[in-house]
Chains A and B, each alone.
Chain A
Amino acid sequence: MSLLEINGLGISFGGLKAVNDVSFSVKPGEIVSVIGPNGAGKTTLFNMISGIYLPGRGSVRLNGTDVTGIAPHKLAEMGLSRTFQNLQIFQEMSVLDNVLAGFHLQERGSVIADLLSLPGMRRRAANARDEAGKLLARVRLDREQGQKAGNLSYGALKRLEIARALALNPRILLLDEPAAGCNAVETEEIDRLIAELAASGIAILLVEHDMKLVMRISNHIVVLDHGEKIAEGDPATVSRDPQVIAAYLGREETEAADADG
């Protein structure tokens, strides 16, 4: 059964159909990529799925439950986690505290316990701290854990955001351009990390511009253009689709543009 089911999803901004009638599904352990030219509506689609935008039309089902229009923090409780294209890091907090924020659902408790520093609170916080340390080691940020997050490099912040998203122990992870701005080595690391996560049974929904990465790791690709789904299928099928080639390269131009752009 599908973990995430998108059905006829759409939203308009002031008459402009930013996303229109998009449907697809993601199974556990599957890597599904959403690709398309700039402005195709990929991030808008992510924002609707993760509850940041209220969809105008259609539905989102998570594990069989209709979750259309449910608040992001409720979706987090149901196992949906995400990263952002334009990084949403808690800049003023330490690297460790950023990941600990991701453990919120696990370490939260009564506010009285927090004010009085009761043993229960300290135990919860200590557990979260242990696990946060492991996650930071996994994305190779364990040595930076005491630093203010705002001081990290762009590539490191990308990894930190993934670590924070993983702290939720999600069943489905939405990654919005995780490799953007990363060098070849960093991209390869992210590639490997995504494959590992999928192998452990997490469903992955990916927006990415690096076509080599997308073609290599995706099980299934959904292509958007002008807010509409123009094609979907496995990487080989999609890359041969004339509509997809037209969307990326333009219909009339014959320039040998690089599809990696």
Chain B
Amino acid sequence: MTAARGKWLQLAVLAIVIAALPLIFPSGYYYRVGALIFVNALSVVGLVILIGLAGQISLGHAGFAGIGAYACALAPAHLGLHPGLALVLGAVVSGLLALLIGRPILRLKGYYLAVATLGFGILVSMVLTNERALTGGPDGMAVEDIGLRPLLRDLGWRISGGEFWYGISGIALLIGAWMALNLLDSPTGRAMRALHGSEVAASTVGIDVARQKLRAFVISAVYASVAGSLLALQNGFVTPDIAGFMHSIEMVTMAVLGGVGSVIGAVLGAAILTLLPQVLTVFAEYEQLVLGAVMIIVMIFMPQGLLPSIMRRIRGRGE
């Protein structure tokens, strides 16, 4: 299977799933869950570029999600910017910030990089929590409606808020997945995979290792930022939790669970970890316990992540 054909196949599967899922939704509530899955998946696709492709870790990417989310809350309230443009502003700020902090911290490797990025995430979440006058502190703040639904209504298209955000998030995920798959099979993607394999060899073939790592970091930061913005816009509310440590860990866990080298795996990981807590509520106070156990079992039996392990099993049977 050529890379190009694989790309369109994966995108087609994703598009069909997004379009067909509502057919089996028992109630309107599930549009909200679906939209949440797509938004989570979008930020995890960004992490696949950083972790799976370039082999770098970040435990602070929720910080960028926080910047994206608060851009959509703050810019309309204080600058009078349209919430849609605030999303773009958030992405630009996140990208520039990633460029600025990525240069020094991407010199670090492994655990040291993990701790440095962790520090960044905590820093953002502390600023958002403590700047009460601006952000409302731990109580969070309201986010202005994007105002597209009334526009659609005027055009004679009446859809619920859930349906609207399901569609927007689904399209955003499709675009994000398309760009990630493009990158995977491009000169930049090859350079990132090469430095992941051997930094010394990559540099001797002319790859500027520091620059390529920085690119992966900035791209993944923009993904996280856009996902954070979409989350804030569809919830109509943000709290500093979006930039919190737990959210960063959740993002990395989704990526690793689904299979860190694969875009569709990222979507699968996001879907499972978004859905599981909803399903596991039947376990009441043991919910976290069961969630942890499921994750441990998957990692023991499928260390490559869900999707790569499943694909290998299917191919192995075919031969």
Residues of chain A whose beta carbon lies under 8 Å from any beta carbon of chain B: 50-52, 71-73, 75-77, 81-82, 84, 88-93, 97, 100-102, 104-105, 107-109, 111, 113-117, 121, 124-125, 128, 164-165, 167-168
Contacts and interface: CB of A to CB of B under 8 A. Distances in A.
19 contacts: A52-B203, A71-B208, A73-B207, A73-B209, A76-B205, A88-B201, A90-B194, A101-B194, A101-B205, A104-B194, A108-B187, A108-B191, A114-B182, A114-B186, A114-B188, A115-B183, A125-B186, A167-B205, A168-B205
B190 interface: yes
Given A88-B201, A117-B186, A111 B194 contact: no
Nearest to A98: B194
Contacts of B187: 100, 104, 107-109, 114, 121, 124-125, 128
Interface in B183-226: 183, 185-191, 193-194, 196-198, 200-209, 215, 219
B214 to A, nearest CB: 10
B299 interface: no
B179 interface: yes
Contact of A115 (B182, B190, B191, B209): B182
Contact of B188 (A105, A111, A167): A111
Interface of B: 179, 182-183, 185-191, 193-194, 196-198, 200-209, 215, 219
Which 8 pairs between the two chains have the least Cβ-Cβ distance? A76-B206, A88-B201, A114-B186, A90-B197, A72-B203, A117-B182, A105-B206, A114-B188
Given A76-B204, A90-B193, A90-B197, 12 more contacts: A52-B204, A73-B204, A73-B206, A73-B207, A76-B206, A90-B198, A92-B196, A101-B205, A104-B194, A109-B187, A115-B186, A128-B187
Given A101-B190, A124-B187, A72 B204 contact: yes
Contacts of B182: 114-117
Contacts of B207: 73, 101, 104
A92 B204 contact: no
A116 to B, nearest CB: 7
Contacts of B205: 76, 81, 101-102, 104-105, 164-165, 167-168
B226 to A, nearest CB: 13
A51 B179 CA distance: 35
Nearest to A150: B197
Contacts of A101: 190-191, 193-194, 202, 205, 207
Contact of B193 (A88, A93, A108): A93
Contacts of B189: 114
A111 B190 CA distance: 12
Contacts of B179: 115-116
Contact of A50 (B190, B194, B204, B219): B204
